[in-house]
Amino acid sequence: MQVRGGQLWGTDVYTYDSDLVAVLMHTGYCRLTPSPPPSAIQELRVTIRILPPLESYIPTLRNNVRSRAWGAAIGCSYCVEKCCILKKGGGTIDLEPCITHTSTVEPTLAPVAVERTMTTRAAASNALRQQRFVREVTIQYNLCNEPWIKYSLSIVADKGLKKALYTSARLKKGEVLYLETHSCRYELCFTGEKVVKGTLQQHESELEKSQNHHTHSLNGERTESDSMVVDVFRWSRCKKPLPQKVMLSIGIPLPLEYVEVLEDNLDWEDVQWSQTGVWIAGKECPLTRVHFLSPN
């Protein structure tokens, strides 16, 4: 049996074009081994059930096989209903699924340790080409099956030496941050400024306690009336994951008819990052992917 690499979308219920061998490995009915199957085995029979398409297909890591996410209804779905071995002398052996390793949330917001090098596929056919190397880029696929670059947590969570590259600064310049779970897409964008009234002493105390004090020192200004101008942001859930070209044609941040606003007028300190996701106004949202998108 051979597996077509990467052609596996979903968990338990899979897209119609998912490779059946990959599905059997993912569900644990069989596994690839270097040795041939026993001579007593004639064939492997699989019964599948055709199902309606799902709104989204959830990825997992099972039996060392990683399925991919798909965020749109397409064609139809299927699941494995039965799998058995047909023996040469007659009779069958029913196989049972086996989930040896499952990862419901595989966080991608983790620091990338080092960059590795790898030879190109053409290197084996030409001695000169063996000297050519390319950088290995970590790519993941969003809910619309588009490639997104894997960002490290230090980039997203406003850490580093270059404040102009902080997420808060990038959003203020017009970029929009899109964040995805296994089934939903969210939007974080800059919406303007607001004036916070209070004494200078109170503001200084708040700045000292804030983990994101650099944002205020970068974007906030005190007025003569002991008030502070701070940036505000909007956290929304996209009603439907849209391809990037469609989003750019509509305009980003997306118009209100395309999103459900969950939190508005957010201070940047209301956005807290963790190793597995983000906290917005005290509510946790586990994440699998993030992506910066610029309207230009």
pLDDT for position 274: 77
Average pLDDT over residues 39-45: 84
DSSP-derived pairing of the beta strands 259-266 and 185-197: unpaired
Listed in sequence order, the residues at least 6 apart from 65 whose beta carbon sits closer than 8 Å to its beta carbon are 8, 22, 25, 26
Strand partners, 290: 179
Tell me the range of 5-9, 71-75, 160-164, 197-201 where mean pLDDT is highest: 71-75
pTM, to two decimals: 0.51
Helix (H, G, I), strand (E, B) or coil at 169: helix
Cα 89 to its chain centre, rounded Å, is: 49
Least confident of 18-27, 31-40, 180-189: 31-40
Cα distances (angstroms) measured from residue 113 to each of 8, 10, 138, 160:
27, 29, 12, 15
CA dihedral sign of residues 73, 245, 268, 224: negative
pLDDT in tens, 197-213: 754 444 444 445 444 44
Task: Decide if 252 contacts 221 (C-beta within 8 A).
Answer: no
pLDDT in tens, 94-114: 888 876 654 443 334 433 433
| Residue that wins the pLDDT comparison between 155 and 15 | 15
pLDDT for position 214: 44
Average pLDDT over residues 115-139: 46
pLDDT above 50: residue 132: no
Average pLDDT over residues 110-126: 43
